[in-house]
Structures are given as C-alpha cells and as structure tokens.
Structure 1
C-alpha cells in the first residue's frame, strides 16, 4: 500500500436513505419511494473522496463490531484506504444516519453516532504513530470535540497542514481556529460562526474576512450553486461551480473536502484545488447516496475537458 499522506480522523456511518417528494412536517407521515443503504459518515466520505480523486488516504475512527461494521470495513478497504486506524467497538453499535432525500435534491438527516462518540484522544494518539508520512490532517465535527482538538494539536506538532470542515455546525469550533490552516464551512456554517447573513458573493467575502481576522489563514466558504469564495492569505477569489441538475446533495460537502485535500497533496494552488473540488462536488450531486455518489479522478478530468 502507498504511504498515506492524507490522514482523516472522523466518523463512519451506515446511511439508510429514503427518497420522497418532500421532507415531512412534524407529526406527518409521507409515503416515500426507493430505499437503499449506503456507507457514509463525514469522515469516511471524505477519505473515500480523497482516495478516488488521486490522494492516498488513511482513516482513524471507530465502528461497531456488528453486521454494519463488518460490511463497512470491507467496503472502505476496497477503496484503497488504509484502515489500520479503524477500531471495532465491542460495546457500541456502528453509527447510523437516517436520510430523507426530497425531489429537489435537498435532504434531512438524523444521526445516531454509536461508536463514533467513543473515539477519544487516546485512540487517536495510539493510531497516529502508524502514519509518520502524513502531510494533511482532514477533520470534521461528527466525533467528540476534545478528540478533534487533540488530533489537530498532534498534527501541528508534526508540521502537518490541518484542514477543518466545521460540520455539523458547532459553537465550540472557534477554539480550534489557532490550529487550523484551512477552514471550509458551507453557507449556513459560516453564518453561524460569524453572525454574517450570507446572501451573495459580497456578504460571503465579509464572512470569510471575519474568519481570517480570527486567525485562520485560508478560508473557503462553499455556496452551493454559487460555487465557493476563497480568502487565501488575504487575497479574495470567487470560484464558480458547473451548473447541474441536483438529484441528491447528501455528500456534496464531503466530496468537496476530500477533493480539496487530494488536489492540495498533488501540489495544486489553493485556487486550482478549490475549482477542482467544485467540479467533483457538482458531479456528486447528480447521483444518489453518499459514497456511491463520489466521482473518480478520470470522471472529473473528463468533465474539465467538456
């Protein structure tokens, strides 16, 4: 196996997905259409995206010692991801996500963290030594915050680039800012962290400047069909996204982050890496599911040529 230069510390969930015309209101039952299960979880989604898009990734996390966990480990290993850092928990079940995808492509998700909630700093410390060649640490917020902070601290001691996708939104994320090299909130997460109402590119720039002023050198805010804005060492860029018809937006942000890490490890500039990640995410939203929607490198390269 190739040396793992992208280290992902995060969650692994089994997604249970139902398509419906719309998301139910409280107390309402809506008859849905297709049901399917798909491997997911923000951490593992990003690891798979990085692996498929030209990065060499390792995953540190926890999953249950149950039927979902066994199936999951086989699936993620087949992606070429180093799974030595994934521990099977004998006491807690695998994480589960219940996903409703409506006709517009928007979704509603409820997550039962299961074993993900048991990923502790000592687990990360135990596994981190396996990957002395790591260059990028990719983090999200579906595991305990103390574990996220510890992983970032360890990465900074090693001189690694720390990339944080602050999802799901968490008010405690500001404590991480001194440890973060690149932060990648979506529109809603950026609004929560900054208090800036984002309605267009100009207001997104204001939110990015706010985060930069708090000590994060590189800020990338994803804006859906408006693409992304990037504040790169004080220089502002707007990166458009290809126009597509969205079928399911479930893992778009995860694909973006995995693609961004893969492009950076291939020594693309942050502007070019952001453009690459926008294209990868655009392809993903035209497909159903989380990891099942993630494109491969040749698909993104072919898309760039059209």
Structure 2
C-alpha cells in the first residue's frame, strides 16, 4: 500500500446528539437509579471521527444527513466550532437528527442505545451528492451507522477513484458486514467484539489477533488493524508483515469514542504517507488519550497532546 500526501480527509457517516448518564454501575433489569451527572453533546461515529481529525489539525469534510429539528442545530454548531467542513451534510425535511443514549459506569465502560433517525434514511439516489466529498481527498473513513448498501456504493466510488478506504465495521449489522466491504476496504479496524462477530475469534493477544486477521485477509481485507483496548493493537497486511502495538499507560475514565479517535489518527497518518506500523502507533496514542476524558467528540486529543504521549512512552511494534 503506497500513499501520498493529500488535502482533506473525507468522512462519511452518522451525526448524532448524545445524551450521557454517568452511574456507579449499570442498572439491573427493572431497577431505577440516580446518576452522578448527565450531559448532552455531539456524537455519531461520522461526526466523532470528523471532529477528531479536525482536532489533530488536519482538514476534514463530512458527508451525512441530519433532520430539521432543534438537535440538528446543536450538532451543526458543535461541528462547525471544531473546524469540520459541512458542505456535504444534508438535511432531511421532517426528519429527526440521530441520537444516542449512553450510560457510563465508574470503570469507564459504556452501554449505548442509538436511534439512527436521518442517518438511516439515506437512499441510493443520495449517493452522488455524498460522493462529492471525495473531490480533493485521497483517504475516506466510513462506518456502519448509515445504511450498509449506501456504505458499499460509496466505497465502490471511492475505489474507482483510487482512494484509501478505512472501514470501521461498527456497529456490525445484524445480518453481518456486506461481503463487498471486505474487498473494498484498504484498512479494516474492528475492536474485539466486532472481530469476534466478523471472524468467530475473540482476540485477546497477538496470536489470537493474528488468527483473526488471517480470516479477514481470506475474505479480501488488504490491511487488518485489530483494536484490543487495554491489551493493545495488532496490525497485519495481506501481502505480508504484521506487528503488535502494546497499550499506552493512561488512566481511563471513559471509553466512548476512543475507537473514533483511533480512526482519526490512523487516517491522518496514512494521508501523510506514513507506513502502516507508524500510523497504527499514532492511532493507538489518539485512542488512549481519548479514554482519559469524558465525552465523545469532545474527548478527541490535539496533535500536540498525541506528540507528548508518543515522546514519553516507548511503544515498539
């Protein structure tokens, strides 16, 4: 995989407003609990990734869809303030902006319920307008919080334009990931749960991650990057070579959007022409820093913060 420096990074995906509750522990069925705190903020994997790219100082354009309700303006203002380009964000007349209901416990673990709203009403005839986000970009990031057939169509167009395609398979659709995405993806970045859903293998260390990566390569994935949270990250190329990035030593308070920040760092580095191992290490630092503060988009680190973590912690692949 050879990449050259490029202009903006294109992100296509969901835009939500998040409602977050913080609790000591997750409630049992039928139980009513008081929460420590409740907040409202920008969310959705597409918006999170776009903001995370912008926070790293890289130009980014987002394509997606919101409703025309009050939450749309909340989301639009937050993205604009972060420096995300919004020329390709559509409005569904009469539609509801996506929303997520997130519970975070004292261990930093989360449970998330998502109402897709306008994210899930994109249609095939919307694809040409969304695909305009590719103009001037060489790297595109996609996720699975918009209809899977739309993701496939957009990736087909991106492949035709010789773009690097980063597929975050979250959340894995109930019927599984479309077969075409395995061959269209330049890089696929599942976490442990998603890897198990896609391969039947739960990665807990480098050997199990290597086995899962081999399965993904067998289905057509060129580069597999398997995120194992506090256990580190494994990366592998179908044409040969792999490596393991140990976890960074940070104090996690919230794992919401850590994967999105990881993806942003990966995209930034691949767009700059960095080799996969360097890009994954940088991405791992981005994801680790995101766990040290609460929230989704607002948890994204700056390039200066990432550089400081990379300088202070050795992390050989």
For the structure 1 residues 163 and 131, does the alpha-carbon distance in structure 2 shift closer, same or farther, using more than 3 Å as the test? closer
Structure 2 gaps, min length 5: 1-5, 313-317
Is 1:251 paired with 2:254? no
The C-alpha deviation readout for 1:142-181, integer Å capped at 9, x for no partner, is 0001110011011011111111000002213333112111
1:86 counterpart SS class: strand
1:124 alignment partner, SS class:
helix
Per-residue deviation, residues 101-120 of structure 1 (Å, max 9, x unmatched): 00000000000111101122
CA displacement at 1:130 relative to structure 2: 5.1
Residue 278 of structure 1: aligned partner: 284
Give the count of matched residue pairs.
Answer: 304
Work out which of the residue numbers 33, 36, 43 in structure 1 matches 2:36: 33
Report the equivalent of 1:139.
142
Q: If the length of structure 2 is used for normalisation, what is the TM-score?
A: 0.93
Does the alignment pair 1:299 with 2:305? yes
Q: What do you get for the CA RMSD once the two structures are aligned?
A: 1.3
What is residue 261 of structure 1 aligned with on the other side?
267
* Structure 2: distance between partners of 1:55 and 1:124: 25
- What corresponds to 1:156 in structure 2? 159
Check the 8 A contact 1:194/1:211 in 2, yes or no: yes
The answer as to whether partners of 2:10 and 2:133 remain within 8 angstroms in 1 is no
- Alignment pair present for 1:193 and 2:198: yes
Task: Give the SS at the match of 1:93.
Answer: coil
CA distance in 2, matches of 1:127, 1:231: 31
In 1, Cα distance between equivalents of 2:124 and 2:257: 26
Deviation, structure 1 residue 200: 2.1
Q: What SS does structure 1 have at the residue aligned with 2:53?
A: helix
Q: Is the 8 A contact 1:8 1:139 kept in 2?
A: yes
Contact 2:187 2:224 in 1 (8 A): yes
3-state SS of 1:163 partner:
strand
Name the structure 2 match of 1:88: 91
Per-residue deviation, 1:54 = 3.4
**What is the match of residue 221 of structure 1?**
226
Unmatched runs of 5 consecutive residues or more in structure 1: none
Cα deviation 1:218-271 (Å, max 9, x = unaligned): 000000011100002321100112121210001111110111101111221110
Deviations 1:24-62 (A, max 9, x none): 122222211111111010011111111212322110101
Shift of 1:71: 1.8
Q: Following TM superposition, by how much is the alpha carbon of 1:23 offset from its aligned partner in structure 2, in angstroms?
A: 1.1
CA contact (8 A) 1:229 1:237 kept: yes
- Alpha-carbon distance in structure 1 between the residues aligned to 2:267 and 2:180: 22
Quote the residue 1:173 is aligned against: 178
Aligned counterpart in structure 1 of residue 26 of structure 2, from 19, 23, 26: 23
> Would you identify which runs of 4 or more consecutive aligned residues in structure 1 move more than 4 Å?
none
Change (3 A) 1:55 1:124: farther
Counterpart check, 1:288 vs 2:310: no
Aligned to 2:73: 70
Aligned match of 2:315 = none
Q: How far apart are the structure 2 equivalents of 1:56 and 1:278?
A: 20
The residue matched to 1:78 in structure 2 has which SS?
A: helix
What TM-score results when the alignment is normalised by the length of structure 1?
0.96
Corresponding residue for residue 206 of structure 1: 211
